[in-house]
Amino acid sequence: MNYTIAVIPGDGIGPEVMEETKKVLEAVGRKFGHQFAFQTVLAGGAAIDAFGECLPQNTIDVAKSADAVLLGAVGGPKWDALPGEQRPEKALLRLRKELGLYANIRPAKVFSDLADASPLRPEIIGKGLDIVIVRELTGGIYFGKRGHVETEFGEAAYDVEQYSVGEIRRISRTAFEMARKRRGIVSSVDKANVLESSRLWRKTVNEVAEDYPDVTLNHFYVDNASMQLIRDPRQFDVILTSNLFGDILSDEASQITGSIGMLPSASLTDGNFGMYEPVHGSAPDIAGTGKANPLATILSAAMMLRYTLNLPEEADAIENAVDRFLAAGFRTADLSGGAPDALSTKETGDRVAAMI
Ligand code: NAD
């Protein structure tokens, strides 16, 4: 089959990790008889430098017409002084909105060969950890009404958390469907003891759950969830939550794995379309040094094969290659504490591609 992939390398280490990811996808193509046509477009700082705007219309058009979108990372100190609306990171928020990517899927997986990278004790982490966070991505407080008003205490600012039943229903279905393919547990996280929007969230999740009698549903307040994630993370399978709580909890979960260079993510819409990107940013501190770990982006490509292109065997091939790479003792600098024999970005891409 032929697939068109919109590729947005971005800034910093983005282009470096993307190069290796394309290499691995090409190896998958050769093994399974697929052609991946990569259409490279700009967003973020690279687009500001080339076109004066962080998200050119052409990037949106190419992304919309592709089968899927692969993104490296955007941002960097060069553009930090720009006002909020013009910053590279704004490109991400706009892309999510333009493409209708309302479901952010972040697996937090501790590979058994990397269990000692986790800051949690071995008796807590066991032989590994495998959680998926399903975060609502285009609603809630990040997109709600905001403004400034004068009060008796002086100037005040506000941001409104608002969720509709429709928005809660569709993200809930994503979580329940995902749980069905996994261990069958959805943990919905809210603050229903305080927030009206959370009470509607909980009521709606309960209603959706009636369509999934085979899935176990439990509810956590966000403060308890953040504590339980450290105390006993293995109790979780799929965590379903809002934009704000998901932003925070997914960073917490990523730290439990101990290796931000390993974490992929997907942002999905209705149907199969999605944008796939590593959880990490553009890491300007190591850009150009060959130290970037490309595995998060390579594993994001595996998610793309699984969720959008419906190629589970091909996705397995990438994930198994990464497992074998780690089991063979190969490590990038971030995983080896800077050991002198750490593999470079390119050596990692070459080895994983060869292991496909
Ligand atoms: P970061 O994730 O870029 O880096 C945090 C730390 O992790 C750094 O020490 C970095 O060297 C290390 N690191 C990150 N990815 C790595 C990899 N693949 N291999 C090895 N080490 C890795 O976060 P930051 O420093 O807070 O942000 C840097 C820039 O990236 C900022 O401009 C920020 O806005 C942007 N950012 C973009 C995205 C995105 O594009 N989705 C996400 C987060 C941050």
**Residues 273, 339: one domain?**
yes
- Classify residue 109: in a domain, yes or no: no
Q: Which two tokens stand for residue 30?
A: 């050769």
| Residue 346 scores a pLDDT above 90 | yes
Greater confidence (181 vs 326) lies with: 326
Residue 278 φ then ψ, to 5°: -70, 160
The answer to whether the CB of 282 is under 6 A from ligand 1 is yes
Please, are residues 283 and 73 in contact by the beta-carbon 8 Å criterion?
yes
The closest alpha carbon to 297, from 64, 24, 95, belongs to 24
Indicate the average pLDDT of the chain. 95
251 counts as catalytic: yes
**Residues 76, 7: one domain?**
yes
- Amino acid 326: pLDDT: 93
Residues 59-77 pLDDT 10s = 999 999 999 999 999 999 9
**Residues 303, 221: one domain?**
no
| Residue 125 scores a pLDDT above 90 | no
Residue nearest atom 5 in ligand 1 by C-alpha distance:
283
Q: Which domain holds residue 150?
A: 119-257
**Residues 94, 126: one domain?**
no
Instruction: List binding-site positions for Mg(2+).
Output: 223, 247, 251
Residues 197-222 pLDDT 10s = 999 999 999 999 999 999 999 999 99
- Amino acid 278: pLDDT: 96
**Residues 238, 302: one domain?**
no
Instruction: List binding-site positions for NAD(+).
Output: 76-89, 281-293
Residue nearest atom 11 in ligand 1 by C-alpha distance:
283
Please, are residues 175 and 218 in contact by the beta-carbon 8 Å criterion?
no
- Outline where DSSP puts E strands in the chain: 2-10, 35-40, 68-73, 103-110, 129-136, 146-151, 154-159, 185-190, 216-221, 238-241, 264-268, 274-278
CATH of the domain at 98: 3.40.718.10
Query: What are the residue ranges of helices labelled H in 210-311?
Result: 222-231, 243-257, 295-307
163 counts as catalytic: no
Q: Which of 226, 257, 288 is the last residue of a domain?
A: 257
β-bridge mates for residue 198, sequence order: none
Q: How many CB atoms are closer than 10 A to CB 89?
A: 17
**Residue to probe by mutation, ligand 1, list 17, 71, 80, 282, most atoms within 8 Å of CB:** 282
**Residues 125, 236: one domain?**
yes
d(CA 329, CA 313): 24
Q: How many domains does the chain have?
A: 2
Please, are residues 286 and 292 in contact by the beta-carbon 8 Å criterion?
yes
**Residues 178, 197: one domain?**
yes
The answer to whether the CB of 159 is under 6 A from ligand 1 is no
**Residues 172, 216: one domain?**
yes
| Residue 84 scores a pLDDT above 80 | no
d(CA 6, CA 290): 24
- Classify residue 112: in a domain, yes or no: no
Residue type present at position 99: L
- Amino acid 304: pLDDT: 97
Return the percentage of the chain with pLDDT > 70, whole number: 100
The answer to whether the CB of 133 is under 6 A from ligand 1 is no
| Sign of the four-CA dihedral 129, 132, 292, 313 | positive
This prediction's pTM: 0.91
Greater confidence (259 vs 303) lies with: 303
Average pLDDT for 127-139: 91
